[in-house]
Chains A and B, each alone.
Chain A
């Protein structure tokens, strides 16, 4: 139940209290009241229908660069 997933903001609703996010092509309305200054294009970490943090894209890119497609690498 503690699963969190990253999703991209595609639309901001209700004065920034809610947003529509895209997770692997799936659109979902989530609560963003815990995040300051959400903008379209941001990546958020979602848990129980609530965004709990913004994902730092620079940091995420660093890891991507280091590992490329490591998700599919067979250990």
Chain B
């Protein structure tokens, strides 16, 4: 069958490339959706001994720290309605998660799209929108703020914990991790373009922008192993049907119109200079002031920080599967559907 041949051929090319390189490769997939695709499709077993896959910090839920959750719960207690993406619900805060706060009567609602919320919200509901995400999601929040302005709403504010991908990636590659190649996040690249990842070339590590289907991952691994073999450090694009050189220029302009860079705290990486986005000062009326005590963060037994920086595999965490499961998560990496602990738990064929 033609299909099967194509798959086999590509798998063989990848393995051949690695045999020529002569050692097992450490490859980091920055984005959680890639982690899921790799484990769901069994690529970690298919390439056992050839590729050691490491999960990076590109899952927005996983890098959101408990201080943000604590802030949202405080706001909910002040009688605001909190709108959040569903996967933030179970992330443990200091004393409880948003789901537990909701069980105690806090008004916490799940949103699918922030734009839909601001289009339909009544002027009487004092609402706070939990704005988390990387550049893929930031344009949706920009459109939401535009809508708030258009409608002249005074009752909607944003709790911004938005992240950028370049700064944390630089910190990770500089200080935390040694890898042979990078699988770059296809949906962030949709917005930023291939150009947005040019900075990776300075680190002299081969990289590829990848889609998320089974065949996307295979094509990307083929391209990446070839680049490693050739010591070719140009960012390759294997998601051409979506990602352009310059990205989505309209979306980028929206981001620039509403947001400025700010420092941001990443679970696993700490405070990163310019790692986040905040609303520009002219829109500060729509932004909630968040209070953080960074010192007190992340001193729990959860090892997410080590997982996100490639120091530990989820199953090496003493809590994994024993006390920490998707039903009783102890850390964000188990909560998020795109978290590596969660992916290992669900598709756990690693042994």
Contact = CB atoms under 8 A, between A and B. Distances in A.
A68 B185 CA distance: 24
A59 B2 CA distance: 19
**For this complex, into which size category does the number of interface residues on chain B fall?**
35 or more
B46 A47 contact: no
A70 B41 contact: no
Contact of B241 (A4, A30, A59): A59
Nearest to B58: A2
B213 A48 contact: no
A66 B250 contact: no
A52 B187 contact: yes
A55 to B, nearest CB: 5
Given A1-B85, A34-B254, A49-B115, A75 B143 contact: no
B224 interface: no
B253 to A, nearest CB: 9
B241 A2 contact: no
Contacts of A52: 136, 139, 187, 190-191, 248, 251
Nearest to B239: A59
A38 to B, nearest CB: 12
Nearest to A69: B3
Given A2-B31, A34-B250, A49 B112 contact: yes
A35 interface: yes
A45 interface: yes
* Number of chain A interface residues as a range: 20 to 34
Contacts of A68: 2-3, 6
A50 B255 CA distance: 14
Contact of B187 (A4, A31, A34, A73): A4
A18 B117 CA distance: 15
A56 B244 CA distance: 10
B204 to A, nearest CB: 28
Given A48-B114, A68-B2, A70-B215, A56 B139 contact: no
Interface string A32-43: 011110000000
Given A30-B113, A34-B143, A75-B41, 6 more contacts: A4-B190, A31-B113, A34-B248, A56-B241, A56-B242, A73-B3
14 contacts: A2-B58, A2-B185, A2-B338, A31-B140, A34-B248, A48-B133, A48-B137, A52-B248, A59-B240, A60-B241, A63-B219, A68-B3, A73-B214, A75-B11
